[in-house]
Amino acid sequence: FSLKRLLKGTIVIKIFMWIYCLFYRKKSSSVRALATDHISDVVANAFLLFCYLISIFFWPYMDPLGGIAISFFLMYNWYNEGSIEVKKLSG
């Protein structure tokens, strides 16, 4: 398998899993966290694929810069999710 094919398959599967979780996210905070994880993976993998292609054809520094950008996106995203859960637990 090539990296591009694997990433494309992961993106499609995660989109379907995210849509499935959308129907049940109001019932459980665990399902909401799963939905957040799935959409984070979709965004991160799509951006990773974009950065990979840019780094191959145009600018080789795009791949490490994309990795740094994805890291900050994931930290921000999960910080927000964690702060929501802490607010629920603390009342």
Written as tens digits, the pLDDT of the chain (91 aa) is: 577 788 888 889 999 999 999 888 778 878 888 888 898 889 998 998 899 889 999 999 998 999 999 999 999 988 988 888 888 888 6
Q: What is the CA radius of gyration of the chain?
A: 16
Contact by Cβ (8 Å): 78, 44: no
pLDDT confidence of residue 82: 87
Closest by CA to 15, choosing from 32, 51, 40, 49, is 40
pLDDT confidence of residue 13: 92
Contact by Cβ (8 Å): 14, 21: no
